[in-house]
Amino acid sequence: MGYSVPKYYKIEQDIIEAIKTGKLQPGDKVDSESVLKKKYNVSTTTVRKAFSDLINDGYLIGIQGAGTFVAQKQMIRGLTSISFSDELLQQGYEIDTEVISIEEVINFKISEKLGIEKDKPIICIKRVRYANGEPLAFHTSYIDSERLNLEEAQEVIKLRSFYKTLEKKHMVPKWVHENYSVREVNDSVISNIMKIIKGGATFFAKRTAFDDLNQIVEYSETYFNKNLYSVDVNIKFKS
């Protein structure tokens, strides 16, 4: 069964391609809503959806009264531990995990991040991490359903660990790429669970995990409670 690509997604991909090829440079102003509406024969809502997604993903920045511009490239810092649970345990926290949902979805944007076909089913696992009884992080993990199917994913509930579940399938990530930014929480479910005011700011992390063959194992997005979580990075200068 085939799936048609949403119109907002087409706009997003064209802008991303223009950025990647250098046609649009950091600081450049992108076409206005009215121009894109005519170009793609779409509604204002569709264009705004594309802009909102690209701003949230760090490609664009909106400046009130001026327009929408290509964002400056963000600095990416590498952390020293792949396992978030290990980090917390090493620091002496009592940890727990609550699985919110496990489902099979179709998501064009996430498929692209996983490097799989756009209409391929993906397993989506949402869970909350607690440290000393306080909600510290809301994780949403995505994995190719061929790597971990819906039935196998239920092990996360039993083991209370996504990575232990992957380990049972011999899919232990060897390295990860993480991007941190600040993002507002506009999802009422997340804000309620995390005890954060809707619209409040959080640390937001996007993570892509790779195996020893550099194949993508998992893509995840995490909201961290900024009052309970910070990032510590050591940088060694070459002599």
Per-residue confidence of the chain (239 residues) as pLDDT tens digits? 455 778 999 999 999 999 989 999 988 999 999 999 999 999 999 999 999 989 888 788 888 788 899 987 654 444 455 566 776 777 677 888 999 999 999 999 999 999 999 999 999 999 999 988 889 999 999 999 999 999 999 999 999 889 899 999 889 888 888 888 889 999 999 999 999 898 888 989 999 999 888 899 999 999 998 877 776 666 666 55
Token pair of 187 as six digits: 């999802």
Tell me the C-alpha distance between 131 and 15, whole Å: 40
Q: Under a CB-based contact definition with an 8 Å cutoff, are residues 173 and 166 in contact?
A: yes
Q: What is the pLDDT of residue 76?
A: 41
What is the biggest distance separating any 2 CA atoms in the chain, rounded to whole angstroms? 58
> Torsion angle of alpha carbons 48, 200, 123, 96, nearest 10°?
180
Beta strands 216-224 and 201-210 are antiparallel
The reported pTM is: 0.73
Tell me the C-alpha distance between 227 and 52, whole Å: 26
> Any residues with CB less than 8 A from the CB of 83 and at least 6 apart, and which?
163
